């Protein structure tokens, strides 16, 4: 799956959204999600500001700037979170979104906590790209009015817009 992650990250880096972004907000992969390491390391090499999420309260997630993997430590459910204190406030940063399952209409199923949907509802200016492996694409994913669809969904085989 590492090879597929590299293909997916390469596709992200080829997008106009990534190329034009001065800041990129990422998720920290766990539980077999698409590995974002190639994307993150490229962003650092290009001098882009990067931020990762930290759970800051019940149902609340905020982004904090990171400049290396040394800026992370196990946090909520042992998912790596920033230990840095500079909160990220770039409302136009490219936001990379994880998920458990998606459909071709870009509906997304996460882990059921609603962190990303709530964050995106409050921060509506971010361009968004979701990353998934092809096997995570389902015929239909249940959706409701609170769901925030990513603008682009990228797998190793397809790009959905």
Q: What would the mean pLDDT of 90-107 be, rounded to a whole number?
A: 94
Name the pairing type of β-strands 128-131 and 152-154.
Answer: parallel
Q: Work out the angle at residue 40's Cα, subtended by the Cα atoms of residues 115 and 160, and round it to the nearest 5 degrees.
A: 65
CATH code: domain of residue 75: 3.40.50.10420
- Encode pLDDT of 103-112 as tens digits: 999 998 887 6
Domain count, the chain: 1
- Encode pLDDT of 17-43 as tens digits: 999 999 999 999 988 899 999 999 999
Record the tokens describing residue 87, joined without a space. Answer: 């909160």
Q: Hey, is 10 helix, strand or coil?
A: helix
Q: pLDDT confidence of 145, banded at 50, 70, 90?
A: confident
Distance CA 80, CA 105 (A): 30
Name the pairing type of β-strands 94-97 and 128-131.
Answer: parallel
Long-range pairs, 132-137, Cβ under 8 A, ≥24 = 132/8, 132/34, 132/99, 132/101, 132/102, 133/1, 133/4, 133/8, 133/34, 134/4, 134/158, 136/99, 136/100, 136/101, 136/102, 137/101, 137/102, 137/103, 137/104
How many Cβ atoms from other residues are within 10 Å of residue 100's Cβ? 16
Distance CA 111, CA 101 (A): 10
Lowest mean pLDDT segment, chosen from 14-28, 99-113, 128-142 = 99-113
Q: Which domain holds residue 13?
A: 2-160
What's 89's DSSP letter? -
């Amino acid at each position: 799956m590492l090879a597929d992650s590299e293909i997916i990250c390469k596709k992200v880096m080829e997008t106009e959204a990534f190329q034009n972004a001065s800041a990129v907000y990422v998720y920290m992969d766990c539980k077999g999600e698409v590995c974002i390491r190639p994307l993150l390391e490229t962003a650092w090499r290009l001098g882009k500001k990067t931020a990762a999420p930290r759970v800051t309260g019940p149902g609340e997630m905020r982004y904090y700037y990171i400049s290396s993997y040394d800026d992370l430590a196990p946090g909520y459910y042992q998912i790596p979170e920033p230990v840095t204190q500079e909160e990220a406030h770039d409302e136009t940063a490219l936001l990379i979104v994880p998920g458990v399952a998606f459909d071709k209409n870009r509906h997304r199923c996460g882990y059921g906590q609603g962190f990303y949907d709530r964050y995106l509802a409050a921060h509506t200016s971010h361009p968004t790209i979701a990353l998934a492996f092809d096997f995570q694409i389902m015929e239909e994913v249940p959706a409701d009015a609170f769901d925030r669809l990513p603008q682009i969904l990228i797998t190793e085989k397809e790009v959905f817009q």
